[in-house]
Amino acid sequence: MGLCPDRRILLIAPDPAAHAEFRGMICADGRASGAGRRGLPAVLAGIEVDAVVDGRQGIAYVSESVRQNHSYLAAVIDMDGGGGVETARQLLREDPDLPLLFSTSGDRSEITRHFHGSDRFLLAATPWDAETLSRLVAIQVDRRLHHRHSDKLANSLDTTRRQLEEACDKVIVADRVKNEFMSNVTHEIRTPMNAILGFTRLLMKEPLDEGQAEKLQYVDEAGKALMRLIDNMLDFSKLAAGALKLKTEAFHLETLVAEVVGLTRDEAYEKRLAVQYNVVGAAPRWLRGDRIRFRQILVGLVENAIKFTEQGTIHIQIALDEQTDNTAGLRVTTTDTGVGIPAERQAIIFDAFEQADGSSTRQVGGLGLGLSICKQLVDLMGGQIGFRSNPGQGSSFWLTLTFEKHDAPEPDVQPDVPSSAIVPLPCGEPRVLVADDDQLSRTLAEMLLSRAGCLVDLASDGSEALAMFERNRYGLVLMDVDMPVMDGLTAIEEIRRHEADVGGHVGVIALTAMCSDDARSRCLAAGADQYISKPFTPEVLIEAVQRYFPGCLEALESAGGSARPELRGGRPDPPHTLEHYLKAIYEALEEEDFVVLENSAGALRHLSLRTGSQPAADHAMRVQLAARSSDLKQVAAAVWKLEAALEDVSTVTAGSDPVGTIAPKGAFCRENSDR
């Protein structure tokens, strides 16, 4: 008798004849007595019966069924043989949820007394009536099946809950990884973009023919477009992660709107569109809030209007919506005469990665993040945003934001500048230490600062920068934040500790491609006086340096310099002639001393700028770059070209001493460049 109780019931009756009778009434293949027997209840289809003659066997069967996780659907106990109550108790100890059907021809009081309050038992009178018995058994079987289904549903719900919790955990982890990835990617992209845009803007200031100028303009525009895309992706990632924090500062409303018009002027000019604005009289002019994010929202709306407008005007209107004693609610409306938004796409216009024209042949580019970011920023600032649009007739976007009112400052009040930021130049020399692990970024900063009249020393990590700072005197330090060996923040902290021991305070400007409020806070907390994010324009860098070295902006515009050249490392000043530096370059080349060679080339470049020889200065720069590669062949080739560039230089400014006869080293350079 193999147990398989998934569709079985247990009969405990001392009379074997009753076993056959019971099967005939309950099982579909049985033979019920009586011609009037009706069909079995559907729930009994496929039911089989295990029958035993005493309680001991029945208890063993139930125990084994529970162990195998195949519990009986019900148990029928013949109470007329005696011992039925104790048997029932033992069965329920083995399987507490087992439905019971008691069969008796006598007094039922003992059963009801012992099982009072239980809803798991029924009573059947003997002799058995087939229809009544099958109905009672069906009730108990149905009860058990319902219980099984409830257990399965509960288990299924528990499993689903666990799966959902695991899925949520994975989403949280994936979101954190995504945000870290986006942050790292934007940092890695911003660093080379700093060099691309910086060198492009420097080249645009050089004498160029029309074709060259046009091509550089295209490069500059493409670089700016890429930076806007990078910034949008970074903002979208921050907003999605809830990591973007608002700041509060005072701002002048009309000045901010004028900035928006200025930032979008070039794009509008290219399409010959007019951008106008109007601040309605009742709106307060001085407010407090997140000026940067408010401006970003307006720029996003205006750029979107320009993108989808081919002719006409974009108009910005700002009016007072409501106010209290301390706050002012503004209603901003941007109206364009563009193509409008198709009706079928209006419901998704603020969704990420959606555009008004979603076809593959759309006329404008972009990822469709601009309006999504605008809405998320408005939501973050506690405002509302919406639009009205008629296809072919233009669109009108509106938003409401509430700001704190701010008392207008006195006319003669200027923004505070930290006293520690303005430091007298040591001995009048504008000498700057630039620390950056990216060679292109170092070179760009060096070129900009040199043309602005500064002497520049370079370091490739924080440890090297700290050693140079302790050895030399600097008027300013530009410190990249993310560097190997010793990061920039640690180096800044060490510089401040060194100053605490020896006295003084040197200005430190932190440079980083990490564009976030947290990055700025960490830089200032480490001891930096200012913070510049990459990519920076030449104007941004030089304006920051101008606070320490007045006049360097004018020097940059004239591409000259007034700083006297010197070798790095605290060595005595050499004679101020090109011949001296060129001789030092040759000697260092013969000795393959690339450090001295780079220093000598740097000094020669400074002097070339003073004499007005831009080509010689540029070739000296190439010698510096080649020296940093420690490639003798590359260095020799660069020195050979430098010698040729110096042939037209006949005087120097320092003492008006003649250059003299420059010893021809062309053969030596050619020999080494061909190795």
Q: Which two tokens stand for residue 403?
A: 């700001």
**Is residue 189 assigned to a domain?**
no
Amino acid symbol at 488: G
Query: Half-sphere exposure (CA, 13 Å, Cβ side) for 307?
Result: 20
Contact between residue 654 and residue 615 where contact means Cβ atoms under 8 Å apart: no
What is the Cα–Cα distance from 106 to 127, expressed in whole angstroms? 11
Spans in the chain with pLDDT lower than 70: 1-5, 29-38, 116-119, 179, 183, 187, 240-243, 352-368, 410-429, 515-517, 551-576, 606, 609-612, 648-675
Other CB atoms within 10 A of residue 286 CB: 17
Q: Quote helix, strand, coil % in the chain, to nearest 5.
A: 50, 15, 35
- Give the residue from 605, 601, 611 showing the smallest Cα distance to 656: 611
Q: Which of 556, 586, 614 is the last residue of a domain?
A: 556
Within this chain, do residues 115 and 40 fall inside the same structural domain, yes or no? yes
Beta-ladder partners of 274: 313
Residue pair 585/626 in contact by the 8 Å Cβ criterion: no
Both tokens assigned to 398 = 């509106």
Please state, in angstroms and rounded to a whole number, the distance separating the CA atoms of residues 358 and 366. 11
H helix intervals, 271-394: 291-307, 370-380
Sheet hosting strand 476-480, strand order edge to edge: 455-459, 431-435, 476-480, 507-512, 530-533
Neighbouring CB atoms inside 10 A of 536's CB total 21
Could you tell me the residue range of the domain that residue 524 belongs to? 419-556
CATH of the domain at 272: 3.30.565.10
Residue 232 falls within a domain, yes or no? no
Instruction: State the total domains in the chain.
Output: 4
Per the structure block, which two tokens stand in for 361? 């042949």
Q: How would you write 457-520 as a 3-class SS string?
A: EEECCHHHHHHHHHHCCCCEEEEECCCCCCCHHHHHHHHHHHHHHHCCCCEEEEEECCCCHHHH
- The verdict on 368 and 484 lying in the same domain is no
Which residues on adjacent β-strands are paired with residue 372? Answer: none
CB 453 within 8 A of CB 542: no
* 392 and 424 inside one domain: no
Tens of pLDDT, residues 78-130? 888 777 889 998 999 999 889 999 988 877 777 877 776 666 788 888 889 88
In terms of DSSP H, where are the helices of 287-423?
291-307, 370-380
Whether residue 22 is found in the same domain as residue 136: yes
Domain holding 475: CATH number? 3.40.50.2300
pLDDT of residue 612: 66
What residues form DSSP beta bridges with 51?
Answer: 11
The SS3 of residue 355 is coil
Last residue of a domain, one of 523, 556, 589: 556
Tokens representing 589? 């080349």
Domain shared by 387 and 477, yes or no: no
Are 433 and 401 in a shared domain?
no
Give the C-alpha separation, 476 to 452, whole Å: 14
Q: Residue 491 has what pLDDT?
A: 94
Q: Are 27 and 47 in contact (CB under 8 A)?
A: yes
DSSP state of 69: T
Pair 553, 543: CB distance under 8 Å: yes
pLDDT at 165: 82
pLDDT of residue 667: 43
400 and 284 part of one domain: yes
**585-594: long-range contacts at Cβ-Cβ below 8 A with a sequence spacing of 24 or more?**
585/623, 585/639, 585/642, 586/639, 586/663, 586/665, 586/668, 589/632, 589/635, 589/636, 589/639, 589/668, 589/669, 589/672, 590/668, 592/632, 594/627, 594/628, 594/630, 594/635
Tell me: do 342 and 277 sit in the same domain: yes
List the beta bridge partners of residue 476: 432, 507
Q: What residues contact 155, with CB distance under 8 A and at least 6 apart?
A: none
**Residue 260 domain flag:** yes
Q: Is residue 278 domain-shared with residue 392, that is, in the same domain?
A: yes
Q: Are residues 488 and 606 in the same domain?
A: no
- Widest distance between CA atoms in the chain: 138
Give the number of other Cβ atoms within 10 Å of residue 28's Cβ.
11
465, 530: one domain: yes
Where helices occur in 31-106 by DSSP H, the ranges are 55-67, 84-94
Judge if 130 and 262 occupy the same domain.
no
**Is 563 part of any domain?**
no
d(CA 115, CA 106) in angstroms, rounded, equals 17
The CA–CA distances, whole Å, from 158 to 69, 154, 162, 163, 167 equal 19, 6, 6, 8, 14
Residue 231: which of 369, 397, 383, 375 has the closest Cα? 369
- Residue 438 forms part of a structural domain: yes
Which one-letter amino acid corresponds to residue 365? G
Q: No. of H helices and E strands in the chain? A: 20, 17
Quick check: helix, strand or coil at residue 399? strand
| In a domain? residue 133 | yes
- 129-155 in b/e form (b: 16+ CB < 10 A) is ebbebbbbbbebbbbbeebeeeeeeee
225 Cβ contact partners less than 8 Å away, ≥ 6 residues apart = none
Q: Which two tokens stand for residue 636?
A: 């020799």
Asked whether residue 40 is domain-assigned, the answer is: yes
Residue 8 has which token pair? Answer: 């079985």
Return the amino acid letter for 250. A
**Starting from the edge strand earliest in sequence, which strands make up the sheet with 48-52, in order?**
48-52, 8-12, 75-78, 100-104, 121-125
The pLDDT score that the predictor gives to residue 185 is 73
What's 665's domain CATH number? 1.20.120
Q: Identity (one letter) of the amino acid at 600?
A: S
Residue 485 lies in a domain: yes
